[in-house]
Amino acid sequence: MLDHIPLIKPSLDINALIPYLREIKESRILTRGKYNRQFAESLSGYIGATYCHLTTSATTALYVCLKVLNVGIGDEVIVSDFSYPASANVVRETGAIPIFADVSLATFNSTLMHISSLVNEKTKCVIFVDSLGNPSGLHEVVEFCKSRSIHLIEDAACAIGSLSKSRKCGSFADLSCFSFHPRKVLCTGEGGAIVTNNSEYNDRLSILLNHGGIMREASDVCLSFYESGFNFRMTEIQAALGLIELGKINKIIKERTEVAIAYRDILPELGFQEQYIDKDCVTNYQSISYIVPRGVNRNQLILYLRNMNIETSIGTYSLSTQPVYNALTNMQIPNSKFLQDNTITLPCCEPESVPNVTEQISRFLLEASLKRFPC
């Protein structure tokens, strides 16, 4: 039996965090302190955005962005059908209706063709999801939304460090959201961020993320509350960890790219189709996902690899097929459904694990061809 090969190993340098912990303890400031400010400033500088607000997760970040744009009852928000449920859950929580767009079987992203076909007078916003870190097609959607005066949120939960037309994800849309979950390239345990170049959105975010309160005058001794806001704040410890990890992000992306190249040297010859990245885009390889060969039972492959001590997962979900959402649409969304059923996400820990993973995949394919597994 192989040693366990996990899907991902979060890059956490706990020893580097210790001096920060001592200083945080001595300061007694556990939130909204200097490390929150430093991490937000460093993150906005890295992305190329003017303003940055740290949050508890990408989910809360997306929800607050919808509130900034006054999305609510009677509105429709177009969102990729091939995504984690958070992308649509936040829309439902505002009272608006998520309208699911199908995706490209090559890039796994919603395309301008799919999005534009769904726009009507109720469309308040588009949420473009950088599927698994891939921003392919983002630029075309940005230009379309600008031309139609439709708000655009980039769900860049997976895309920290990815680029489109030589610009970092997060620098294009009205508002962009990132995740720092353990599966992501930059990890703070849990956590997220909102970035924007719009000063009005920045002001509103400052209020909403502070329970709806603000001090209008320097002489004020307490907050005045102008709307019902939230406490979605990142802690100082998470922000300190984020600073450390941001300093290593280029190295982390380089290592994941090396793993992706190692898979690319083997899997296409076995019939696996890699997620396509547009030529003017660069992905961070937050996840390395493939469409399995025709006739291969993806679920059986995942279970086989699990028995071999190799952790894998599906690509992600076709939201319109989930019980919570399948009554919302009468449309067929075939590409997203196909990808949900036929994509596999492989370990992206280290290049030296790739031969073990691909060897076991080859064995599975051989045994499947001998009809030892149902197809």
The domain ranges of the chain are 14-246, 249-369
Are the beta carbons of 204 and 68 closer than 8 angstroms? yes
Residue 360, both tokens:
């076991």
Residue 364, both tokens:
């599975």
| Overall pTM > 0.85 | yes
Model confidence over 92-139: pLDDT tens digits? 999 999 999 999 999 999 999 999 999 999 999 999 999 999 999 999
pLDDT for the residue numbered 274: 97
Of 38-42, 148-152, 298-302, 349-353, minimum mean pLDDT range: 349-353
CATH 3.90.1150.10 for the 249-369 domain, yes or no: yes
H/E run at residue 257: helix 249-264
pLDDT above 80 for 337: yes
pLDDT above 70 for 373: no
Provide the CB-side half-sphere exposure for 236 (13 A, CA): 18
Confidence of residue 1 (pLDDT cuts 50, 70, 90): low
pLDDT for the residue numbered 32: 87
Residue 41, both tokens:
């400033």
Diameter of the chain measured on Cα atoms? 79
pLDDT above 70 for 206: yes
Task: Return the CATH number of 14-246, one of 3.20.20.240, 3.10.20.340, 3.40.640.10, 1.10.3720.10.
Answer: 3.40.640.10
Mean pLDDT of the residues in the chain = 93
Buried b (16+ CB within 10 A) or exposed e, 130-152: bbbbbbbbbbbbbebbeeeebbb
- With a CB cutoff of 8 Å and minimum separation 6, the contacts of 147 are none
Check if 14-246 and 249-369 are the same fold: no
The rounded distance, in Å, linking the Cα atoms of 229 and 210 is 6
pLDDT for the residue numbered 372: 58
